A and B are shown apart, each in its own frame.
Chain A
Amino acid sequence: MKKIIHNIIILTSIFVTGIGLILMSAGIVYADDCFNINNESIDKNTNTRPFICFEHDIHNETAGIENCSECHHIYDEHEELVPDESSEGQPCSECHADSKNSNNTDIGLAAKYHKLCRDCHLSREKGPVVCGECHRK
């Protein structure tokens, strides 16, 4: 009996240590460098991959985008798009800041960002859509 209890204790501690080690490694942060989007709200974030350099002018030229409001949109208080007005110079987070989640990540802002790019790329059937195409290692 004593031996069994002893074994249980040893084996359980091995198990708990294993899980503990994994959880401890949660602190390791990936370095983020190439960021040319003004994004204070996610810079403490430990989860996202750095964004590849978004080459603004080349992108718009290739995509044939002339109207800034296609991306830098403005909605009125009825949540309707205001035509002919755009929001460049204004950080996305001014409107799209969401509650922070447990990792201090503004996941709502990230979600909005993803949708903006991906929805457009999917409708035009051009441009990156899967995670790794923008969030390069």
Chain B
Amino acid sequence: MHDYYSFFTGPFAWITFLVFIFGSGWRFYSIWQLAKKKDSAVFEYMNMKFALRSIAHWIIPFGSRSMQINPAMTVVTFMFHISLFITPLFVFGHVVLWKENFNISWFTLSNTVADLMTLIVIGSCLFFLWRRIKLADVRYLTTPMDFIILFIVAAPFVTGFWVYHQFPGFAVMTIIHIISGEIMLMAIPFTKLFHMFLFPFTRGYIGSEFGGVRMAKDW
């Protein structure tokens, strides 16, 4: 127990951060290089104003027709993404670790809020799972990897919930919680989870095309 704790909060945590940071950096760099070599036109048509206009419409709930005609998905996906980011960054138990290790701290969520947001993430993952299984068009697109990613994302929240509520075996579960969080971070650069970083670019580009050339809305 003590060995595992030391390893997964020590060396392995550093490996995780390095893989996450350098993996993401590498992924960005390789896309950037390829774009410069092969898609120089992309830079030509990128337009900050139209890119931001498009991004703004798509990060506001129901800002696009696509979101309006899929209300359930829109509500769930916004609650999910907000909770997914806010919870791990601002839950007290994590902030105190930042304080202990790096002597920095910031705003913390009350436990009840964090607990609710955790449930939102878990519930959303179940909703996504339901969509993947139940909706024929989504099922057709779904690969085994999509289930794995869903699992990778849900795991830190399920285990976190378990640990917080001290269900049986929570001490071991804490170690699993730490590992699952590390797996998620490490998976970001190498899986479709990287969409979080690519969103502003793909959205921004189509927004630039629609705004600058097509003179039309893209939402």
Taking Cβ atoms with an 8 Å cutoff, the residues of A that contact B are 4, 7-8, 11-12, 14-15, 18-19, 22-23, 25-28, 30, 46-49, 101-103, 105, 107-108, 110-111, 114-115, 121-122, 125-126, 129-133, 136-137
Contact = CB atoms under 8 A, between A and B. Distances in A.
16 contacts: A4-B65, A7-B62, A8-B62, A14-B75, A15-B62, A25-B112, A47-B109, A47-B111, A101-B107, A102-B107, A111-B100, A115-B100, A122-B2, A130-B170, A131-B174, A132-B170
Contact of B166 (A7, A103, A132): A132
A111 B113 contact: no
Nearest to A18: B79
A101 B105 CA distance: 8
A43 to B, nearest CB: 15
B99 to A, nearest CB: 4
Interface residues of B, number: 41
A48 B85 CA distance: 21
Interface stretch (B13-21, B40-48, B90-98, B201-209): B90-98
Main secondary structure of the interface of A (DSSP, over half): helix
Given A111-B99, A132-B163, A11 B110 contact: no
A130 B113 contact: no
A14 B174 CA distance: 35
A103 B107 CA distance: 7
A130 B68 contact: no
A80 to B, nearest CB: 19
Given A11-B74, A15-B78, A122-B5, A110 B96 contact: yes
B116 A114 contact: no
A26 B100 contact: no
Contact of A108 (B68, B105, B107, B111): B105
Interface in B37-95: 61-62, 65, 68, 71, 74-75, 78-79, 82, 92-93, 95
A129 B62 CA distance: 45
Contacts of A126: 2
B175 interface: yes
A47 B75 contact: no
Given A107-B99, A137-B165, A129 B1 contact: yes
B114 to A, nearest CB: 9
